[in-house]
Amino acid sequence: MERLDLDAIKTMTTRFPPLRAKRAGASPEIAFAIGESTLGMVLVARGPIGVRAILIGDDADELMLDLAGRFPAARLLRDEAGLRQDLARIIRFIGNPGAGIDLPLDMSRGTLFQRRVWDELRNIPIGATISYGALARRIGKPAAVRAVANACAANAIALGIPCHRVVHDDGTLSGYRWGVERKRALLESEIASREIKA
């Protein structure tokens, strides 16, 4: 395993709050690996409970900076061999959504409200979409449309928590942390996968 050198990152400002260690002085360890997919580079990060992040982008260095910004108190360890199967499942899902991902997720970093939104997102079938308003109603908070959108934006586990399935009320695609074109490609692939099964 290779430890990520974060010296250059320490001065970086970030919009993500620091992760607090359970014990004073303890730094949680997060192992990560990076691979290539049809959507670009994919980073998977795992702690002892499960997957903490699935990030998608164009550049491996940017993905590592994103991970470091999300988990500034963690010891980040590059472990391609240890996460080979996780990465393979994610890349397989991108190419064939019908295969599913089936990975344990660690959503503990989210607030109670965020976790409610994320849990509901995981109930949306492959190839289906839901509006922000409908998602807010499903969790019993119909007036919290903006908060639901913010919970989707805070999601660090792309694909595992399928925020790409959330659209505007009129069905048009809205923002996606990893790019609207990736969102479109994911939805088209999922719809095609669903039609093949039918």
Largest CA distance in the chain: 54
In this structure, are residues 112 and 118 in contact, taking their beta carbons and an 8 Å threshold? Answer: no
Residue of 4, 122, 25 lying closest to 69 (CA atoms)? 4
Instruction: List residues with catalytic annotation.
Output: 163
Residues 6+ apart with CB under 8 A from 127: 97, 187, 190, 191, 193, 194, 195
β-strand partners of 75: 29
Distance between CA atoms of residues 109 and 107, nearest Å:
6
